[in-house]
Every structure is written in C-alpha cells, then in structure tokens.
A and B are shown apart, each in its own frame.
Chain A
Amino acid sequence: MSQKILLDKINIPGIKTYEVYRQNGGYASVEKALKTLTPDEVVEEVKTSGLRGRGGAGFPAGMKWSFIDKKSGKPRHLVCNADESEPGTFKDRFLMEYIPHLLIEGMITSSYALGANRSYIYIRGEYMWVFKILERAIAEAKAAGWLGKNILGTGYDLELYVHCGAGAYICGEETALIESLEGKRGNPRIKPPFPAVSGLWANPTVVNNVETISAVPWIVNNSGADYAKIGEGRSTGTKLISASGHIKNPGVYEIELGLSVYEFMNSDEYLGGMSSDRPLKAFVPGGSSVPILPANLIYKTANGDDRLMTYESLSDGGFATGSMLGSGGFIVYDDTACIVRNTWNFSRFYHHESCGQCTPCREGTGWLEKVLHRIENGHGREEDIELLLSIQSKIEGNTICPLGDAASWPVAAAIRHFREEFEYHIRFPEKIKHRDHFVNEPFEKVRHLVAKQTV
C-alpha cells in the first residue's frame, strides 16, 4: 500500500463529524501552527514540501503564498477554489463530502500562514448538498473554538465562510472566481495585477484548490521535508486522481506521485483494467483540457521510458507525444469510443462555458463546436480538418484567461493523434449515422478504408 495523506482516515466511521475527526488527530495542525510556529515558518514548510497547486496548473503553492502583499497593510484573504468543473474531475467533492473538516483545518492553518482574517470557500452551485455539509462543519468548528476571535487564546482571529456559485465553469479561473465572489458575472480579469496584490475587494488574496489546502495539515504536522520525500523529483507528495470512462473501478484514488500509469490502470488496488474485454484506445490524464493520448503513448513515452503519474512524465514529449497531469481527471476510452464525437462533446462544453469576453474564444469555440458537429453528423468537408486547426491556433494564446487554450488543445491533440478517424467521418458519412457507430464496428476494423482512399 502506498502512503495516504488525504484519504488515510476516510474509512473511519463518522469521520464526517467534528467529534470523530478531532478524536483522530484532527485540528492538530492548527494547534501546532498557532502556538509554536510563526506564519512565515508555516509558509517555509509549505515551500520546502514542494507542494504544487492541485487545481491543474501545478504552480508551487509555497511560492504563490510568498507573493501575497503584506506591506500594504490591507486585509488579506484566502479563498479556496472548490468550483470543481473540469470534465473528468470529481476529487474535491469527494474530500469535502466525506471529510469536510480536513479542508476546514487546512483553511485555518493556511489562513494563519497568510495572515488572513476572513477566508472563503467558493464551491460550485451544483454541489449544493456539499455546500450545506461545509456550512454545518464550519459551525461545528466555530462552536469548538477553532474559528472566531482569539483562537486558542493566541490572539489570531479568523472568520471562514462558504460561498456558492451558480453553474459557470469559468469561475474556476481564479480571477473569475473573485469576480463571482464579489457578486458579478464570472469574467476573468486582466493580469497584472495578480490577486496576490489586488484580489477580492482589491485586497491581497491567495486562491488555492481544495486538495492543495487539504495537504497543508499533514505538512505542518509532519514537515515539509517529509512531504518532499514522497513522490518523484519535482512532483512531490500524493495526488488525488478521479478516474472515469471504460474502466473496472471508477472513483477517486490517492496515489503517490511517481506511480506508473500501467500499474494505476491495471492493478486491482486502483482501476483494475478495462471494464470490458475491449482494448484500450485512448486516455485523457488530467481533465478535458489536456491533450488526449493514443494507446501507444499511454504506458510508454515516445522515448520508450515508462510513463509515470508525475507532472513531468505525463508532459514528456511536449504536446507532440505528451499531455499533462492537470487536475487529475483521468478518462479512459476503449475502442468503442469515437474520438470525433468526444472532441465535439468537449468543444460544446467549452462553447457553453466561454464567458464571452474575448472574441477569439467566444466566436472560436462556437466555430469549433459547429464544424465538429457537422463532421460527426456526416456533413463534414475535406477542408474541415485544416479549418479546425486554423481556428484552434487563432484562439490559443489570444485570450485573457486559459479557457481559450483549454478549448483549443483537445481539438489539436485529437487531430494530431486520430486524424484518420476524422477523415473516415468525412469520407464515409453513411457509416457514422448512428451515435454508437464504433460500438459494433470499432474504427480499428475499418481504418483500411481511409488508407485505400488516400492512395
């Protein structure tokens, strides 16, 4: 068994409640930090740990913390990003639903490190029952003296609230999240200024993912150095992976970074292999925004090295032959899946979720969806593949926030690795009429038709 940091207590009956959580060592990190460490010492521990942002970007958390403006004297805020909406990702919900006090403990310890006296957890509106779980857990923590004025008699004050969104993927982008928390539309802000200087209500603000903040108690209780011993190279610690698609055991897993993709996919401790006897066709390792990879690049990199569950190994080869760890939304496809249909589906998602602020994204995502829809529905044209590549290249890098990139990368990757499948759709429209067109006749069986035509 590998080491568990976030989910080690998840199977203790009643761990959802304050009493059981406390009896099992809960809130120890708050005691240790407030009574024995200075805020800067906590920041140093997190820096030493090498903990990286678990929302998808993988930016070192301790470094992000050290950017917060402490000189201006303005109030500071910690905001937890619980707006989990990346297709394939459902790990934060698992933590908040089953061990809510871990996040609250992490919020208190982290807020202390940042000198924040008013912090928020921004949760997506669809997780309304989890919102209520957190509200009740915060009330329990407050009643037990972990929140409010003069916590543990140390003179440190903190108010923590949970705030809900209302169905907008874009609010997972930190500046859109801040706008939304201010009661506005979720339009991302132009940076700089970064939130660390001017965030919530123009005050210095740090926005961190649920999983990032939930790792802080362990780091404070043990040490940053101990955390850094787990994992592989610059990918330290453990990561939650939420797995879905055509696999035997979908769900949320905590892995030590550095585990091989092969073992994660096939061992009974984790995904247990494919859900049927169908062969593996493709996977998306880090949520819908990251490039999809074909079977031959999943277990091995292009150089023939074992592919590992780390930030570095999953991106080995760049976008030509690699992908990204992203948020850990691990989606597996067998040979009945249609890559064109999947790409169209993701494009529809991004079109729907574009905030509409930047023209390349607002218009481009619509174009991507339309062109992919017509290919998938048998009305594609020969020039459409080049058209898609042209549109995606015009969105990428030309928008205020990364949603534009997130919308364009999956399209480029699908064409890069599965171009023949797009050509098949365009040339044999009568064969793809039914939505389940590859269920009985997987593309592998009919790919020779595309090759024949090309000659």
Chain B
Amino acid sequence: MERTFHKQEINMTEALMNRINELIGHYPEENRKSALIPVLHEVQDAHQNWLSIELMDKVAEILHIKPVEVYEVASFYTMFNLKPIGKYMFEFCQTSPCCLNGVENLMDYTCEKLGVKVGETTPDGLFEVRGVECLGACGYAPMMQLGDFYKEHLNEQKIDQIIEDAKAGKIILHDK
C-alpha cells in the first residue's frame, strides 16, 4: 500500500470506544477479528471519513491483530478511504439502470456546478463527486449516496438544494 503523508489527528473518544467494544461483543472472543469491518466504519466516520496508517494501526491494536490484516481489508473494500476526501462526498450510482434515467448528465451538471472533475475535491474541501457501482436503488434513479443516506429521484433542482443545504451545514451525514 502506498504510504500517504497526510496527517490525521487521532481521537478515540470514550463514546467511540464504547461503540467499538459493543461491536466486538457481537462475536465470540476468539473471533474478535470479525468485528474489523464494522469497527473500521465507526473509526472512519469519527475521523473525517478516512483512514490513515496510524488509525489503522490503532484498530489492529484494539482487535489484537497484525496491522497488515487491517490494511489488506481496508484496501479491498471501496467504502474505506485511504486518503482525505471531501466532507460531502456525492457518490452517484453510475450502473446501467441509473444511466437509463440520466445519471451521467446529472453528474456532468454537478461537476460543472462545483467546478470539479469526477474524483476531485473542491478547494474548500467541502465537496467531492464520485461515480460508484450499483447502490441498489435502481427503481429510484438517478440517485446518490451522501454519508449514511441515499438521495433518490434526483434532478438538477434537488442537486442545487443539497449543495445549498450542505454549505449551510444542514445535512446530517451519519446516523449515530
């Protein structure tokens, strides 16, 4: 894995540790490693939505596994980000049923509006646009994932509104 030089401040709060211990309790003690993916979600959510090497090392320590066991999992699953990303990540589903309902044009519109290309973050760090594969909302296309939630039946007006709400801090990203 490529080593990044982005700094991340690690803050394992009491609430986060309580949740991690609750998740670990869902598996037999000898299978503590099973909690890895749910735990990575929790620590990522609590750390600006990305995982530094240091943070992954911390998770390895908590789960009593080797750091490489965390890296190999974090790099396999697309929901884990190994470098900093935009705070509001617009993850558009770009698989065929969404394309039939115009998601490609809508992505173009969103990128133009934000002045970024797909995969880029706006200079203020607020927004990023990504194309992802099927999110399981084909009947409610076009749609995107934003944090823990889906935004469905999208159109240009709704995108404008979401951007406005995000700038005003009115969007809830995580369901805690």
Contact = CB atoms under 8 A, between A and B. Distances in A.
Interface in A297-333: 329, 331, 333
B74 to A, nearest CB: 9
Contact of B136 (A127, A185, A346, A355): A127
Nearest to A341: B99
Contacts, number: 145
Interface in A179-224: 180-186, 201
Nearest to A253: B139
B148 A329 contact: no
A300 to B, nearest CB: 24
Contacts of A129: 148-150, 175
Contact of A126 (B69, B79, B99, B139): B79
B135 A163 contact: no
B77 A331 contact: no
A385 interface: no
A146 interface: no
B77 A168 contact: yes
Interface in A143-165: 161, 163-165
A84 B135 CA distance: 9
Interface in A83-124: 84-90, 93, 118, 124
A118 B27 CA distance: 9
A346 B96 contact: yes
A170 to B, nearest CB: 9
Interface residues of B, number: 44
A245 interface: yes
Nearest to B136: A90
Nearest to B45: A128
A234 interface: no
Interface stretch (B29-37, B110-118, B119-127, B159-167): B29-37
Interface string B50-66: 00000000000001010
Contacts of B138: 87-90, 242, 244-245, 250, 329, 331
Given A126-B136, A244-B138, A180 B37 contact: yes
Contacts of A246: 100
B136 to A, nearest CB: 5
B160 to A, nearest CB: 23
A377 interface: no
B41 A164 contact: yes
Nearest to A92: B136
B37 A250 contact: no
B148 A167 contact: no
Interface of A: 84-90, 93, 118, 124-129, 132, 161, 163-169, 180-186, 201, 242-246, 250-252, 288, 329, 331, 333, 337, 341-342, 345-346, 348-349, 352-353, 355, 435
* Pairs A-B, 3 closest by C-beta atoms: A166-B77, A183-B36, A244-B138
Given A169-B133, A337-B100, 18 more contacts: A85-B134, A87-B96, A87-B97, A87-B134, A87-B138, A126-B145, A127-B136, A128-B149, A128-B175, A132-B148, A132-B175, A163-B34, A165-B37, A166-B41, A185-B76, A244-B138, A331-B138, A341-B99
